[in-house]
């Protein structure tokens, strides 16, 4: 952390030597501050054919239903991150099976890694970022109250491959960039 | 960019309300600066059964052979990033087939998305970050001169699934955390 950007006061935007994009560069010591895309990790979690969804207690999209998911932390693996988020948001102990999808939301520089997972037992309750947590049968999923486009994508893509053997992970549906509002 | 950390001078390390980890928080306006893991995108690229490798012109591991790969940029999709890196490092126009692996190197907070790809035609040459670019038959791969553990993993895992139909992406080999030196 010796060179954390917050400790450098004189940043200037310029193209560093050998680079081809403008970066914030510290005028005093030459430190380059890179803005990096952010990684979201989460899971489609099922139990006995039903889907675990969390009703958001926080903005954005407060009150809407989402998959347990959130930002990967430093020094954390993506699978550990997905498990942590399920525990924080739904007090759920999930068992990851495999990667379901990699979604890109380039407008906000976000990469989402969504796993296929299941509950070992039907034990869950809302964490501090959730108003409610429930298991929904497919026909009961509140499609009009889902928080983000990628929640729609992940649930539908899960449905395509569930029980069908090895599959290659999905990406964004053709032409979709993850911008709001979600499509049903 | 109105709230870029470089424009805030009085950061203090504390646990923000509703959070459970220390972050750098701006004393003046409450802006929270998150340190995020970084995403590397790259590809195992083949042509006619041979593997495209780049000899690094830069540190770390200058002079060693690696896959075309590098940091994902802001507002870029992971597939676009993998294609850009192959072009920058090897002047190669690659065709992505599917995701080969997601590797975690938690010590340095790095997540690597490595694709399976091929060259449309055998056209390539070293970019500014490469000393040399070559296609290697499997038996010719310079195993003792590969730059990173994940280069070993990706080549071997590619070999496991090549030509065998749909597969679930690989992760780190059991017990491996991507620390140096690479194992042959």
What is the ipTM for the molecules in this complex? Answer: 0.85
Q: Quick one: pLDDT at residue A62?
A: 96
Chosen from A62, A75, A165 to mutate, greatest number of chain B CBs within 10 A: A75
What pLDDT, on a 0 to 100 scale, did the predictor assign at position A27? 74
Asked whether the beta carbons of B103 and B150 are under 8 A apart, the reply is: yes
**CB-based contacts of A98: which residues, under 8 Å, 6+ apart?**
A115, A116, B168, B169
Q: Which position has the higher pLDDT, B71 or B165?
A: B71
Express each pLDDT in B74-88 by its tens digit: 999 999 999 999 999
* Alpha-carbon distance A106 to nearest alpha carbon in chain B (angstroms): 4
Residue A69: exposure state from Cβ atoms within 10 A (0-12, 13-18, ≥19): buried
Answer whether B14's CB lies under 8 Å from B22's CB.
Answer: yes
CB-CB under 8 Å, A76 with B106: yes
Residue A4 has pLDDT above 60, yes or no: no
Q: Please give, rounded to a whole number of angstroms, the shortest distance from the CA of B110 to a CA of chain A.
A: 8
Q: Would you say residue B1 has pLDDT above 50?
A: no
By Cβ distance, the residue of B74, B107, B166 closest to A109 is: B74
What DSSP character marks residue A87? H
Residue B35 φ/ψ, nearest 5 degrees: -90, 130
B60 touches chain A (CB under 8 A): no
Q: What is the 3-state secondary structure (H, E, C) of A10-67?
A: CEEEECCCCCCCCEEEECCCCCEECCCCEEEEEEEEEECCEEEEEEECCCCCCCCEEC
Residue with more model confidence, B36 or A83: A83
The pLDDT of residue B2 is: 39
Asked if residue B3 has pLDDT above 80, the reply is: no
Q: Which of B4, B34, B77 sits opposite A104 (nearest CB)?
A: B77
CA nearest to A101 within chain B: B99
Q: Is the pLDDT of residue A5 over 60?
A: no
Looking at residue B75, its pLDDT comes to 94
Q: What is the pLDDT of chain A when averaged over all its residues?
A: 90
Q: Which domains does chain A have, with CATH numbers?
A: 1-35 (2.20.70), 38-161 (3.90.79.10)
Average pLDDT, integer, range A161-171: 90
If you average pLDDT over every residue of chain B, what do you get? 90
Cβ A129 vs Cβ A88: under 8 Å: yes
Tokens, residue A130: 């959730």
Give tens-digit pLDDT for B4-20. 555 566 677 788 877 77
> Could you read off the pLDDT of B92-122 as tens digits, one per residue?
999 999 999 999 999 999 999 999 999 999 9
CA B170 to chain A, closest CA, distance in angstroms equals 9
Q: For A130-156, what is the mean pLDDT?
A: 97
Is the full-model pTM beyond 0.80?
yes
């Amino acid at each position: 952390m010796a060179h954390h950007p917050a400790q450098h006061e004189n940043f200037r935007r310029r193209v560093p030597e050998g680079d081809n994009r403008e970066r914030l560069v510290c005028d005093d010591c030459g430190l380059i501050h890179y803005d990096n895309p952010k990684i979201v990790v989460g899971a489609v979690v099922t139990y006995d054919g039903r889907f675990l969804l969390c009703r958001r207690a926080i903005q954005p999209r407060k009150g809407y239903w989402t998959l347990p998911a959130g930002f990967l932390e430093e020094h954390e693996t993506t699978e550990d991150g997905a498990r942590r988020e399920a525990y924080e948001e739904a007090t759920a102990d999930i068992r990851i099976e495999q990667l379901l999808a990699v979604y890109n939301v380039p407008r906000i520089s976000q990469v989402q890694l969504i796993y296929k997972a299941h509950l070992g037992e039907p034990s869950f309750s809302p964490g501090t970022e959730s108003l409610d947590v429930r298991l929904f049968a497919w026909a009961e999923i509140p499609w009009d109250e889902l928080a983000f486009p990628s929640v729609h994508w992940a649930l539908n893509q899960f449905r395509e491959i569930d029980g069908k053997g090895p599959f290659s992970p999905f990406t964004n549906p053709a032409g979709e960039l993850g911008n709001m509002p979600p499509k049903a």
